Structure 1
Amino acid sequence: MAASRRLAALEADLGVRLMHRTTRAVALTPEGEEFLTYARTMLEASEEARTLLAPATHGARGLLRVTAPAAFGRIEVMPVIPKLLHENPELRIELQMSDAIVDIVASGFDVAIRVAPLRDSELVARSIAPNPRVLCASPGYISANGKPLTLEDLGSHECLSLANMASWPFRVDEAVRNFRPKGRFVCSSVEGLRTACVDGMGITMLTYWDVREELASGALEVLPLVDALPEDLSIWAVLPTRKYVPMHVRLFLDALEKRLSKCAPLVRP
């Protein structure tokens, strides 16, 4: 086969074996693993050069694979896609909306949008918008139960929690204090928690982008505390480790960042 002949020629040229071959499988040798990093860099550089030299009228092309949290993807990512596709006829987009943190390298994603604290990794991360956490409740809940003014007050209220967030981080006198919410309802999804909060079931801590529309409409109200501030997050674009960012990724991130800049709070809500 042509691929086998080209691999054999490359190994002969380098003077090392890059792959172990059996009748059932192939695997990279240690030398092959090391060479693969440089080979990917060369391919990415070649792709970037072709993109830069292509006529501007062609726009972005190829398949863009994006993963984003479900609620954020629906509210903020989806609105930028129709215009991108309209302006770039040769572009295709695959959007995975899931709250699971996926391995973007193993899964072949070009970019991941993250609203949670980042894990340590070798991936490249770019902050694209501030993402303040907010305590909030519905007007109905506030009318029936009042507003907490301090962390101690908050402990006596019905709190609605994400299943994977056992504590709520607050900034108190330049230090982080983790508050353990107490309540009878826990949910695995942001959208479920937001619905419960709008329905008056209790107080929750979500990010500004999770409840932006509800705050604007008055369905939810921010509950500031006098002795603590919810610890802030950022919205991140996470890219595979690479020196060159393809044109279709750049265009997508520029469009998303532009949208977020129009809606972002100038100060903490």
Structure 2
Amino acid sequence: MSNKFNIFYGDHPSQFGVLRLPESSEQSPVIVLIHGGFWQSKYNLEENTSIAEDLTRRGYATWNIEYRRIGEELEGWKSIFNDVVDAINHLSIIKESYHIDLSNVIVMGHSAGGHLALWVASRINTSKTDDVFNELAIPIQKVLSLAGVTDLKKMWEIHEQKGIKSPVAALLGGAPKEVPNRYKITSPIELLPFDVEQVLIHGELDRHVPVELSKKYYQSALEKGDKVKLVVLPDIEHFKVIDPTSSAWDIVVESI
């Protein structure tokens, strides 16, 4: 019997996830994986396949989620955010059939997926919930941001300075001055504290998402009393943190 299942949580071709179950017959804790690629459709969940397989071998159920991305048909700027919530909520619909334990859900995201992982964890804090986005119905015990985009405004500024058309503006439908409130309700650094355990892992040599973003976020989370840990890895670049053959990956596994 295969331990890998493609499961749709919505009608759009990108509204699905790949559930992998470990060999053990006991109820497994679940790790939700959110891939990066600056929210763009040319990148997909295959980025997380090798770490999903590795974690499943270690006894975790993994739910590697896809979501509608920039370049696909979206129903407005909230689609990407709501897809992530819906994908996680879908676990409660499939938990009986697949025998998974939802009392211990960890969310882990890389790069733009790190942004989405932190953002979705902030939805646990009821003072942050609103009627803008779909409601998160599953408790998250811990969130891991691997080279995550913790500050959308800062990321937009970095792209502007480099003369890059920022995917952050494409994600939110405008620059910070044009849609300030959207940045406020979707940028993790603006949403602290979460009251969820957070681990930030970032390589010193990251050229895509500078390590400064995680450092600044860490300071802010500490000041606001959140339970947060920062691991800065020397000699590690952006993609090494999701490479199961790298030393960085051992650190990630330990942090879980």
**Which has more strand, going by share of residues?**
1
TM-score higher than 0.5 here? no
TM-score (norm 1): 0.30
TM-score (norm 2): 0.31
Query: Larger Rg: 1 or 2?
Result: 1
